[in-house]
Structure 1
Amino acid sequence: MAEDIEEIRRRKREELRKEAGDESTAAQSPSEPVPIDGDSELSETVAEHDLVLADFYADWCGPCQMLEPIVETIAAETEATVVKVDVDANQQLAAEYGVRGVPTLVLFADGEPAERLVGMQDEAQLRSVIETHA
């Protein structure tokens, strides 16, 4: 039932955006998490979008798996562009951003790291952090 309510909310937001003529914002931010492989891809994405939420994760990490549907919802329903960085495949990039534990979420606002969240986060917390920098 909660999924049905969220789907209704998502559709209603889309309708409101279209009515307001705000389709450009919806087009700028992908509605699904974008996989990132390497520093150049992350840098390009951060440069292209005002708000980027980077999810540093590992496939073997239980909390990362629990966080995945929340991150997907955030990508679909907020103006933030969500990227996923596999720390095993991108060890250098993870080290560059000081990732010592997974999941680590880094919010980039206007091209700069603005927030860092370590560990499992709930959807309300992520929305709050994004709205603070929107």
Structure 2
Amino acid sequence: MAEDIEEIRRQKLAELRNRAETGGAEEAAPESPSEPIHVNGDAELSETVAEYDLVLADFYADWCGPCQMLEPIVETIAADTGATVAKIDIDANQQLAAEYGVRGVPTLVLFADGQPAERLVGMQDEAQLRSVIETHA
């Protein structure tokens, strides 16, 4: 997982350097990844939230049936919207889950401009997620 994040960072750095070399002088927020990124720990979540304007944090567990049903939906959200999807395994990140008051899974927290803006608990349909994201885009 850490290697995946490092690869994404390398790709983003290469994109930024390319923009600078080709004269892209405007300061734009980095484009959100088209796939969910796995986050481990508070530092990685804070870094992700600071880097992207809109982050949908998906607190999930491998053993959770609704979480497994939600997986293709959050993958579509990552691919088709401007939101970055951060996947957080609550079993591996119990302290982080507790910090965000996760008492049931799946729990989705939408961060807008670095701050938690929305919280959704339980299975969500794609239209509901898109609506919430568009409200804060």
**Which bracket does the TM-score occupy, shorter chain normalised?**
0.7 to 0.9
Task: Give 1 or 2: higher helix fraction.
Answer: 1
2:124 equivalent among 115, 121, 124: 121
SS at match of 1:28: coil
**TM-score, normalised with respect to structure 1:** 0.80
User: Deviation of residue 42 (structure 1)?
Assistant: 0.1
Q: Does 1:106 align with 2:109?
A: yes
Q: 1 CA distance for matches of 2:75 and 2:121?
A: 18
Q: 1 CA distance for matches of 2:106 and 2:82?
A: 21
Counterpart of 1:38 in structure 2 is: 41
User: Deviation of residue 26 (structure 1)?
Assistant: 9.8
User: Deviation of residue 122 (structure 1)?
Assistant: 0.1
Kept in 1, the 8 Å contact 2:58–2:106? The answer is yes
Q: Does 1:65 align with 2:68?
A: yes
Q: 1 CA distance for matches of 2:60 and 2:67?
A: 6
**TM-score, normalised with respect to structure 2:** 0.79
Which amino acid in structure 1 is aligned with residue 48 of structure 2? Answer: T
Aligned length: 111
Kept in 2, the 8 Å contact 1:30–1:76? The answer is yes
User: Deviation of residue 28 (structure 1)?
Assistant: 1.5
Q: 1 CA distance for matches of 2:28 and 2:85?
A: 14
Counterpart of 2:4 in structure 1 is: none
Where do residues 8-87 of structure 1 align in structure 2 (5 Å cutoff)? 28-87=31-90
Kept in 1, the 8 Å contact 2:30–2:52? The answer is no
Kept in 2, the 8 Å contact 1:74–1:123? The answer is yes
* Percent identical residues: 86
Q: 2 CA distance for matches of 1:73 and 1:55?
A: 13
Q: 2 CA distance for matches of 1:39 and 1:81?
A: 16
